[in-house]
Amino acid sequence: MRFEPALQIATVDGIGEVQPGTDLPALIAEAVADAIETGDILAVTSKIVSKAEGRLVAADDREQAITDQTVRLVASRRNPETGHVMRIVENPLGLVMAAAGVDASNVPEGTVLLLPEDPDASARAIVAAVLERSGVHVGVIVTDTMGRAWRVGQTDAAIGAAGLRVIDDLRGSTDANGRVLDVTVAAVADEIAAAADLVKGKASGRPVAIVRGLARLVPAAGADDADAGADADAGAIAPDELPGAAALVRRGEGDLFRLGVEEARAEGYAAGWAAAFAGRSATPTDVGGSPGD
């Protein structure tokens, strides 16, 4: 059997240390100019995007920075040995993450790094810069590390995207046995982000990777294989016509796990008291209890 890899991933040299004010789209476009091909996908670590966009903020207390970036507390747990409280929260991007995505690693003492303000817009800027520099249509994913419910450890996922389909919706197609697929929607942007992280690593100094072999997900590349579906005849599609990674975020009623166990119990307890004593002055505290008891 001859093995011909359908997917290739390589890191990019020449990025160097990124500082606030760095023209990151131009820097990346120049670094990949000799290697990039139409239909390639760039996976860009969010940290360099945040640094270039000046998202480094003074914070003697990282916990306060996390609080400032918290839209909603999802779950919290105190470590009995250290006393530290881990918080899983929703941040302003709608992402549910540990510590709101606030990063204190590889930054000057007394500072923390926030996630990009609009990762999808950051990805669009890189797509445009590569097109201008090389005349090549690419997809771009801005990646960050996340934990997973029910699973140990972390993996990279897409928090920003442009120029590619972030999901591969297989609903309505059939499997090998002819059964119609009803719910299969592959989060391909997250899968690409995780795969690219295997090459980029966390301490390699190579925050950008080129992913090749998935041109079918980059409609502007004009892929003509059968897997490209309707996009094969769609011609060039402007990056801002495709939904970004924000489309991957479950919100509101779509979030089936909106709260952690303790938070859900406390919310239900409080709601029960409110319903029981509607129109009265009594509260759980008045009668010696509390929603957390």
pLDDT digits (tens, 9 = 90+) for 151-174: 899 999 999 999 999 987 665 566
Domain holding 105, by residue range, is 56-114
* Count of structural domains within the chain: 3
Question: Do residues 41 and 161 both lie within one domain?
Answer: yes
In-domain check, residue 88: yes
In-domain check, residue 3: no
Residue 109: pLDDT above 50?
yes
**Count of C-beta atoms within a 10 Å radius of residue 34:** 8
In-domain check, residue 2: no
Q: What residues contact 91, with CB distance under 8 A and at least 6 apart?
A: 69, 70, 71, 97, 100, 101, 115
Closest CA to 122 of 48, 221, 66, 58: 48
The answer to whether the predicted template modeling score (pTM) of the entire model surpasses 0.85 is no
In-domain check, residue 157: yes
In-domain check, residue 281: yes
For the ranges 108-112, 120-124, 227-231, the one whose mean pLDDT is highest: 120-124
Average pLDDT for residues 104-122, to the nearest whole number? 91
b/e per residue 172-183 (b: at least 16 CB within 10 A): eeeeeeeeeeee
CATH code, domain with 110: 3.90.1660.10
b/e per residue 127-138 (b: at least 16 CB within 10 A): bbbbbebbebbb
Q: What confidence tens digit (pLDDT) does each residue in 39-97 have? A: 999 999 999 999 999 999 998 888 899 999 999 988 888 888 888 888 999 999 999 99
